[in-house]
Amino acid sequence: MRTFTSVADLGPLDKALAMAAEIKKDRYAFTELGRNKTLLMIFFNSSLRTRLSTQKAAMNLGMNVMVLDVNQGAWKLETERGVVMDGDKAEHLLEAIPVMASYCDIIGVRSFAGLVDKAEDYEERVLNQFIKYSGRPVFSMEAATCHPLQAFADLITIEEFKEVERPKVVLTWAPHPRALPQAVPNSFAEWMNATDYDFVITHPHGYELDTKFTCSARIEYDQNKALEGADFVYAKNWSAYADPNYGKILSTDRGWTIDSAKMALTNNARFMHCLPVRRNMIVTDDVIESERSIVIPEAANREISATTVLKMMLESL
């Protein structure tokens, strides 16, 4: 595997899930595979889980790891070609990428959507420059439009916790004080569509996601109706995708916060969120602390999804 941005990159999903299950049983089984191979993780944005779980995954496989926080200690990077660089950015990505690539074998990139220029975000300009100019396998650690390591971990978690063959999974928008990217819900929708689960998306009007990711998923604007009979409730905020409101907050209605009354509508559902989560905006304290909440095992599975993906990339070197 030379790039990892979408579910299709994994090949047959059942095989990838079987590999993830095998890795979970013995995460050190392939510790020789990454010997003398170096992972470079580049962060344009903050992270707790992705940083630690991906580093741990690389260590599971015997790799060396380097982490660069672009905004802390590195030269500020220009990402647009043709710009007269007379501002505060001292280096261009077009030099920085091949230089960084010369020190490593695999590259992970975190670069969030700017939420200003939709075309720039949805063309994945930063991530695609790494893919084009590094000559290395590149994976997304949440880029502008996708967060595949999260969606893979989410799928592994649902497979572990499901009590019926074809669970009802509800992705619900929830309020948040800051404008957030669509990357997490985009990837979650894409990955749920790759399964045969009963998948429903609920959000207020105006929060429709890119149909490239949602495809034929059922959209239900009435959150209470969507939650009826749910086996998994996956809460997440995102900003508007549709024009002319791209990147804007259209609602902070706390009537959409997941509380115990909402959870009572479900089939005793498991509660999921990718974290970090704002309590009592997205979800109430009692729901996230309840025994039906699986946010911690979900986050723990980030190590498993990352180990599986890095193993596949190491095998392609």
Binding residues for ligand AN0, per CB under 6 A? 142, 180-181, 183-184, 274, 276
Residue whose CB is less far from ligand CP, 47 or 267: 47
Instruction: Give the β-pairing of 168-173 and 232-236.
Output: parallel
Among ligand AN0, ligand CP, none, residue 180 binds (CB under 5-8 Å by kind) = ligand AN0
* 48 interacts with ligand CP by CB under 6 A: yes
* Least CB distance to ligand CP at residue 50 (A): 3
On whether the CB atoms of residues 63 and 30 are closer than 8 A, the answer is no
36: number of Cβ within 10 Å: 8
What does the DSSP assignment read for 253-292? -GGGSB-HHHHTTSSSPEEE--S---BTTTB-HHHHHSTT
- Minimal CB distance residue for ligand AN0: 180
* 57 interacts with ligand CP by CB under 6 A: no
- Residues forming a β-bridge with 39: 65, 106
Helix spans in the chain (H): 13-25, 49-60, 93-101, 118-122, 125-134, 148-161, 183-193, 211-214, 223-227, 260-263, 285-289, 295-315
Q: Applying CB under 6 A, which of residues 5, 6, 50, 111 lies at the interface with ligand CP? A: 50
* 47 interacts with ligand CP by CB under 6 A: yes
Vertex 183 angle, CA 182 and 184, to 5°: 100
* Least CB distance to ligand CP at residue 193 (A): 20
Residue whose CB is less far from ligand CP, 41 or 226: 41
* 236 interacts with ligand CP by CB under 6 A: no
Among ligand AN0, ligand CP, none, residue 181 binds (CB under 5-8 Å by kind) = ligand AN0
Name the residues that contact ligand CP, by CB under 6 A. 47-50, 142, 150, 274-276
